[in-house]
Chain A
Amino acid sequence: MMFLTSVVATLVAGALAAPEDSIPSPSTSYSNASAAAWYAMPLCKGFSIEDATIDELQQYMANSNLSSVQLLYCYMQRYYQTNQYIK
């Protein structure tokens, strides 16, 4: 976990940080919806990558909508969100 913390710190503070506008305000209210609902994947810098195909992800990168670093950042967030359940 020490390592994970340092990756996040690097992301926020370092040269690889996602642009400010891609960091949403932390949500402070969570619904009481069922697991299947709160497991939904958040947008990645405003773009939907839930169930995105590789072609769609390439299009995002080709259009400069998302960088590979931002994409990795969003998948890492997804890992933090789900791994305690699915491993």
Chain B
Amino acid sequence: MLEINPDAMDIAASMDQERSQGTVRSNLHGIPYLVKDNIASKDRMQTTAGSWALQGSIVPRDAHVVQKLRDAGAVLMGKATLSEWADMRSNNYSEGYSARGGQARSAYNFTVNPGGSSSGSAISVANNVVPFSLGTETDGSVINPAMRNAIVGFKPTVGLTSRAGVIPESEHQDTIGTFGKTVTDAVYALDAIYGVDERDNYTSAQTGKTPDKGYAQYLSKAEALKDAKFGIPWESFWKYADQEQLDVLNAMIEMIKEAGATVVNGTELPHADQIVSPDGWNWDYGSTRGYPNESSYTYIKSDFYNNIATYLSEVSNTAMKSLEDIVQYNIDNVGTEGGTPGIHPAFGSGQDGLLASLESKGVQNETYWQALSFCQRTTREEGIDAALANGGDQLHALLIPPDIAQSVQVAAQAGYPIITVPASVHSFSNMPFSLAVLGTAFSEAVLVKYASAIEDLMVTSDSDFQRSKTPPTWSGYLERNLPVEF
């Protein structure tokens, strides 16, 4: 946690007063929560993405998602720490570190990557500091920390949750997600925050594709698995998983099959060889192959240049008006912000991510549009949707191992939703891993139905594959290494 809301007690007291008068606004009435520090709140707290560069800056209004949670009666307890600039700033860095927040650490292992960039949002829920929280994802930043702290992370379709008032990375991939200890809790939070917002025109895409009364109505028991049809993209993603993880996830899939689900192996993404890096997370894999016009990083770094300027245009009491200003700030304050390589232990490569964006100047040239078109086509209709089509025998969803970051990256480029269900922990690190359900655009109802059914199956059968069987061990809690091991 980065900051406590000075108004939290007053909000809670007013919610108690409302309840005593018979008003209960929603199932989040009176419930404390945190938001990631890149989500604006118009109150006495900061909104900085963890950077001193935005210290004291004044936002024009609450982020849409914060306003919706206020309307729902939830109690904003504070801001959660994060990887600075949501990992946009550096490509060699200490995950979970920000200059303002310091190094976030997972209670499962204090010495390694705690998951990020929504590190504090996940860690706080895993440790009962709050019942639920919000994070943001551009390329894994909800799913990864949820997985690494054995909680449920729900990353909705890009356009389901408004990004207005959120410090951006890329308008094409940014989405606001939720964290809870159970699928139900994560869904309650999503129900409170989704909706069309005139300040984010991407949200108009959800019109006609969302349920009238929220997603909680789709929460299900294990019996719902009887009619489920899932795909396993083995060659595309699963073959990269380690054996210990495969043993656990295979055992879970066997249980899912025994509960009545049809599970089809070998439902692949046709362009996997072009979009799945064989060496782990790589958001510039197209360029690695020699094709910047087939790389997500090509449009993300241009988008950041433009989107951050738009965000800053509405923020006052700050000298930061552009990416140029931020880059210069990090150089002028190199001791705290590590603007040059090799100075700051948490920012090994300095600010190479920001510099790459700066170099792009936000230009939207032919390479930019080709990259966007390629990434969307090969991950959507010729990617996830093709795997779901399963040669004419349509599947409900794909099951993926989110520890294989490339599976989450493909969904990020598509803008498609994922929900994680805790599985177990790695014996070599004590760090958790998950099973995840991935679907097509705006298929959140399907994901809620089956993720909750899988969770129910694991819990009611008293299996080893559930959060309560793998509590945090506080491994390495006396150590304070920086950077953390990746």
Contact = CB atoms under 8 A, between A and B. Distances in A.
Contacts of B15: 68
B4 interface: yes
Q: How many residues of A sit at the interface, in one of the four size bands?
A: 35 or more
| Main SS at interface, chain A | helix
Contact of B13 (A55, A69, A82, A83): A69
A85 B184 contact: no
A78 B96 CA distance: 20
A51 B182 CA distance: 9
Contacts of A16: 9-10, 12-13
Interface in A62-82: 62, 67-69, 71-72, 75-76, 78-79, 82
A82 B129 contact: yes
B30 interface: yes
B104 A49 contact: no
A7 interface: yes
A47 interface: no
Contact of A35 (B1, B24, B127, B477): B477
A45 to B, nearest CB: 14
Interface in B1-35: 1-2, 4, 6, 8-10, 12-13, 15-16, 19, 24, 27-32
A43 interface: no
A71 B474 contact: no
B184 A35 contact: no
B184 A54 contact: yes
B185 interface: yes
Interface in B77-107: 77, 81, 96, 101-107
Nearest to B14: A68
B230 interface: no
B128 interface: yes
A84 to B, nearest CB: 10
Interface of B: 1-2, 4, 6, 8-10, 12-13, 15-16, 19, 24, 27-32, 75, 77, 81, 96, 101-107, 110, 120, 123-124, 127-132, 180-182, 184-185, 188, 468, 471-474, 477
Top 8 A-B pairs, shortest CB-CB distance: A68-B30, A35-B474, A68-B12, A87-B104, A72-B12, A69-B12, A67-B16, A68-B15
16 contacts: A16-B9, A36-B471, A36-B474, A53-B131, A54-B131, A54-B132, A57-B30, A61-B19, A62-B24, A67-B30, A72-B9, A75-B130, A78-B127, A82-B127, A86-B105, A87-B120
Given A7-B6, A49-B128, A86-B105, 4 more contacts: A54-B27, A54-B131, A72-B77, A85-B474
